[in-house]
């Protein structure tokens, strides 16, 4: 399955778990590409054109409000897929999909994926499981956003992002972070200063370096452990 | 658009070195009140009687335009 292997050697968990029969259905139509941070793959309301399987990096799924504000509802890395429900006939994306961390992905046209899924129970299960993972994340994120303090959410988000960033620095503007957390940019600035003051991170010129991971884990809300333990991230 | 800075003082200063470009003073006031609302939720017991929480909005000349203060005390 050469086309589903990423050049870095890192592979998507869902694709890796497939057997030869499913790979044969998909591989003629799969291409692998690198996506830069900040690229918008689809807007809420768009028809789903491609299904994406990240091998590295991270894609963010954002709910978009009428006034233009957006908030992250789920993040997808090597463990998952974006747009997989297109395989079961869901044609319209309900979320904006943005590349949160530079990513290497395999992608397949939704129409091709749909045809392959129609011929494989395993691929149908993949669609359902992928959707269940996103729903589980969204449930936890909704509760977290409503109840937990910004500092704890900020730390939780950084840990999840760091887990996907590998050794790469986390390059994010405060405005981007504010959008992910659904808070004011000024609040993010204040929280980042506080967490930096405690020695957990070093934040400068849009680049975040984790200095003390254990401390960051103590400052994060339970949702980091919850989502990690369920292997949904 | 003018640049405004949002400094928080709570058991020590936390100075805003980045600032925010906003349309005018009215927008800066709105930003300050919205930020204060988010920050106060985060206090979550950390504001102790006898202590204050302050948010100051300044312009680029460090002139204080607004100050929001939450004072905590325990009447004797």
Residue showing tokens 């054109």: A49
Which residue in A212, A228, A106, A104 sits closest to A161, CA to CA? A228
Q: Measured between CB atoms, which of A174, A190, A197 is closest to B39?
A: A190
Mean pLDDT taken over chain A = 88
Partner B contacted by A34 (CB < 8 A): no
List CB contacts (< 8 A) between A183 and chain B: 38
List CB contacts (< 8 A) between A191 and chain B: 42
Residue B40: which domain range?
3-71
Q: Does residue A133 contact residue A59 with C-beta atoms inside 8 Å?
A: no
In a domain, B29, yes or no: yes
List CB contacts (< 8 A) between B14 and chain A: 190, 193-194, 197
With CA atoms as reference, the chain B residue closest to A183 would be: B38
- The interface predicted TM-score (ipTM) is 0.84
Which residue in B65, B70, B72 sits closest to B4, CA to CA? B65
What six digits make up the tokens of B54? 């302050």
CB contact under 8 A, B39 and A187: yes
In a domain, B76, yes or no: no
| Predicted pLDDT of residue A231 | 54
**What number of C-beta contacts closer than 8 Å exist between A and B?**
37
State the nearest Cα–Cα gap between A155 and chain B, in angstroms: 13
Which domains does chain A carry?
Answer: 2-125 (2.60.120.10), 148-229 (1.10.10.10)
Which residue in A132, A99, A111 sits closest to A33, CA to CA? A99
Strand ordering across the sheet containing A207-210: A170-171, A207-210, A201-204
Residue range B24-48, pLDDT digits in tens:
999 999 999 999 999 998 887 888 9
Question: Has residue A81 got a pLDDT over 70?
Answer: yes
Least trusted range by pLDDT, from A1-5, A155-159, B21-25: A1-5
Q: Does residue B67 contact residue B6 with C-beta atoms inside 8 Å?
A: no
With CA atoms as reference, the chain B residue closest to A153 would be: B42
| Predicted pLDDT of residue A10 | 52
CB contact under 8 A, B31 and A151: no
Count how many domains chain B has: 1
| Predicted pLDDT of residue B7 | 94
Among the residues of chain B, which ranges form H helices?
25-43
């Amino acid at each position: 399955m050469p086309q589903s292997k990423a050049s870095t050697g890192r592979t998507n968990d869902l694709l890796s778990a497939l057997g030869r029969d499913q790979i044969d259905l998909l591989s003629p139509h799969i291409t692998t590409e690198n996506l830069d941070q900040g690229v918008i793959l689809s807007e809420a309301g768009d028809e789903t054109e491609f299904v994406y399987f990240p091998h590295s990096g991270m894609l963010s799924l954002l709910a978009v409000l009428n006034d233009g504000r957006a908030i992250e509802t789920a993040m997808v890395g090597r463990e998952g897929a974006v747009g997989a429900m297109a395989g079961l006939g869901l044609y319209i994306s309900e979320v904006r999909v943005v590349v949160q961390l530079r990513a290497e992905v395999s992608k397949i046209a939704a129409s091709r994926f749909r045809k392959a899924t129609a011929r494989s129970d395993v691929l149908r299960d993949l669609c359902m499981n992928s959707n269940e993972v996103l729903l589980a994340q969204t449930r936890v994120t909704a509760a977290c956003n409503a109840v937990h303090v910004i500092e704890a959410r900020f730390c939780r988000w950084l840990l999840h992002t760091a887990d996907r960033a590998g050794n790469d620095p986390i390059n994010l503007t405060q405005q981007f972070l504010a959008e992910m957390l659904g808070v004011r940019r000024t609040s993010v600035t204040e929280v980042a200063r506080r967490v930096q003051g405690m020695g957990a991170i070093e934040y400068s010129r849009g680049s975040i370096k984790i200095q003390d991971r254990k401390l960051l884990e103590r400052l994060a809300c339970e949702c980091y452990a919850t989502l990690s333990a369920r292997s949904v991230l | 658009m003018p640049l405004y800075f949002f400094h928080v003082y709570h058991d020590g200063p936390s100075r805003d070195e980045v600032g925010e470009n906003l349309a005018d003073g009215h927008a800066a006031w709105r930003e300050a009140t919205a930020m204060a609302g988010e920050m106060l939720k985060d206090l979550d017991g950390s504001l102790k009687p006898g202590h204050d929480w302050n948010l100051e909005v300044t312009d680029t000349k460090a002139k204080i335009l607004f100050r929001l203060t939450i004072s905590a005390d325990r009447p004797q």
